[in-house]
Every structure is written in C-alpha cells, then in structure tokens.
Amino acid sequence: MKRFSTPIALFLSFCAMSSGSFAESETPVLEGPYLGQEPPGLIPEPFAPGIVSTGGWEVSGAFTPDMKEFYFIREVETDGISRQEFVVFQNKDNRWLETVVSPRVGQPFIAPDGKTMHLGKRYKEHTESGWSEIKGLGSPFEEIQIMRLTASSKETYVFDEVGMPDGDGIIRYSRLIDGKREHPKPFGKEINTGKFNAHPFIAPDESYMLWDGRRDSGFGHADIYISFRQQDGSWGDAINMGDKINTDAWEAGASVTPDGKYLFFNRNMGSDA
C-alpha cells in the first residue's frame, strides 16, 4: 500500500442477492464530495450505505475524472421480477441527484481524459450534449467475452474475458502504437495465474494494476491482487491485498478514484454468485 503516490483509504461497496434501497422521495439530501460521505480510514467501509450500498446487489462504481458523476449498476425487483439498471449520481450545484440511465449496458469505466465511457466491448463518447449512443469496439474485441475494460492515459486497454465455467478466463492488454491499436496480448504468469482472473484496473500512468482471481494461497473465494510495473517495464509478482480487504467471501472489481485517494471494490455479502 505504501507504494501508491497518494495515501489510499478504502470505500467498500457491498453486493448481495436481495433488494432494497431508498424510494426516490426518501433519498436524503447529498452534498459535498463523494456523495457527501465521510472519508474512511484504512478499514473498508460501505460506500453511501442505504443509498448506493444497500441490502441489494450493486457493483461497478465509477467516477468521472472531475468527480462530479458516479455511475454504478444495481439490481431492483418489481412485481417479483428482478432486473439490473444503470444508475448515475450527478453533482449539480453541490447536490447529488440520482438518475436511472438505462437497463444495464456493461460495466462502466471512464477513461482518464473523461472522453470515453468504456462498457466492456462497447463504449460511449462524451459530447457537448452528454454521452453518445453506444458504439462497438469492433474486431478483435467483439469476439472476446469482455466483462470489464479499463484504459490508461496512453489509451492502453486492459480487459478480462469471461472464464466460466472452468475459470480459464485471462486478462489481456492492447496498446495504441503510432495511432494504431495492436492485437490484444495476454499478460504473463504474474497476472494470469490461478483461476477466474477478472475485472482489471490499470492505473492512468500504468504504474500498477489491480484485478481479482482465485489462487491456492488466497483467502477463499476471489481475492483482489495488485502488481507494480518494474523499472524494466515488466510486471512484478502479484501481491494479495491482505486481510483488511480480502476475506473468504467474493471481493472483486477494484479501482482507484481519479483523484488517487480511495480504493473502491465489491464484496458479496449474501449469495454464492
């Protein structure tokens, strides 16, 4: 943890397989940074309990670089039918307002320059009037079952592949070289060891990356790991993020906020999923 350039505190977004949240009229007034939440210390805390982190299933939180929009996915139930929806909280005049954007369209990640919202193998572009319609990355990305794609400031893509049911999904990267996108390549054994390696996050400066997976040396289900870029450009051995973050439950989907201060991740608190 000491190798991050900025001290990192932890927000934990719980996910479970039951539903529950504030009704629109019951949502409290949210003012100030981070949806008005008190910053945590080095022990993970639920993010915006009862608002974002509820008794339901919420994953994939992502801030825009200006920290004025927060996107995530949640599951809701209506008349006994469950569905997943894409939600945003936007800071307007120092107040956070909630909007349901659409049904789920992919796991959101906002590029460091704020110009692209990645949604796995699809994306949206930021325009003067807001986000564009969804577009596809095209081949060869269309042929890969991508769950989460993140990008660095150099526009290097780092992404996973669905590894069900055998857990053989791997994490790949694709650099932009002289204006051309290279064919995706798998990371080495430092990253792609064990099973169910998924949900990567590449630092904007490419100095480190986070992901989750299962290893014999882990705490149980999926754990969150970190690898640091070495001076020769290679990736260092995976480091388990430790027992303050990882438990025998499912921890996954880690990312660092654009200001470099907070680690967000998901923990399954109530199902086998």
Q: In this structure, is the dihedral angle defined by the CA atoms of residues 47, 53, 57 and 62, taken in order, positive or negative?
A: negative
Residues above pLDDT 70, as percent of the chain: 87
Highest mean pLDDT among 41-50, 53-62, 170-179, 215-224: 170-179
pLDDT at 54: 86
- Longest Cα–Cα distance of the chain, Å, equals 57
pLDDT at 168: 76
Q: What token pair was written down for 197?
A: 């390696």
Q: Could you state, in order of their start, the residue ranges of all structural domains in the chain?
A: 9-268
Q: What token pair was written down for 144?
A: 């890969």
Looking at the predicted structure, is the pLDDT value of residue 155 above 50? yes
Q: Angle at CA 122, nearest 5°, toward 118 and 126?
A: 50
User: What are the φ and ψ backbone dihedral angles of 36, each rounded to 5 degrees?
Assistant: 75, 15
Q: What is the tens place of the pLDDT at every residue in 49-59?
A: 999 998 788 89
Q: Rounded to 5, what percent of the chain is helix, strand, coil?
A: 5, 45, 50
Q: Is the peptide bond before 28 cis (omega within 30 degrees of 0)?
A: no
Looking at the predicted structure, is the pLDDT value of residue 27 above 70? no
Q: What is the tens place of the pLDDT at every residue in 183-200?
A: 999 999 999 999 999 999
**Among 50-54, 118-122, 161-165, 250-254, the least confident range:** 161-165
Q: What token pair was written down for 103?
A: 């049904």
pLDDT at 257: 95
- What is the distance between the alpha carbons of residues 200 and 151, in angstroms, rounded to a whole number? 10
Looking at the predicted structure, is the pLDDT value of residue 226 above 50? yes
Looking at the predicted structure, is the pLDDT value of residue 271 above 80? no
CA-closest candidate to residue 209, choices 161, 250, 156, 137? 156
pLDDT at 228: 97
Please, what is the average pLDDT of the chain?
87
Q: Bridge-partner residues for 223, per DSSP?
A: 213
Q: Categorize the per-residue pLDDT at 220 as very low, low, confident or very high, splitting at 50, 70 and 90.
A: confident
Q: What is the mean pLDDT of residues 260-268?
A: 91
Q: Which amino acid is located at 208 in the chain?
A: Y
Q: What token pair was written down for 102?
A: 């659409």
Looking at the predicted structure, is the pLDDT value of residue 8 above 90? no
pLDDT at 166: 72
**Among 24-28, 31-35, 51-55, 159-163, the least confident range:** 24-28
Q: What is the tens place of the pLDDT at every residue in 73-129?
A: 999 888 888 899 999 999 999 999 999 999 999 999 999 999 999 999 999 999 999
Q: Which fold has domain 9-268?
A: Neuraminidase (2.120.10)
pLDDT at 9: 55
pLDDT at 40: 87
- What is the distance between the alpha carbons of residues 62 and 201, in angstroms, rounded to a whole number? 11
- What is the distance between the alpha carbons of residues 98 and 100, in angstroms, rounded to a whole number? 7
Looking at the predicted structure, is the pLDDT value of residue 3 above 50? no
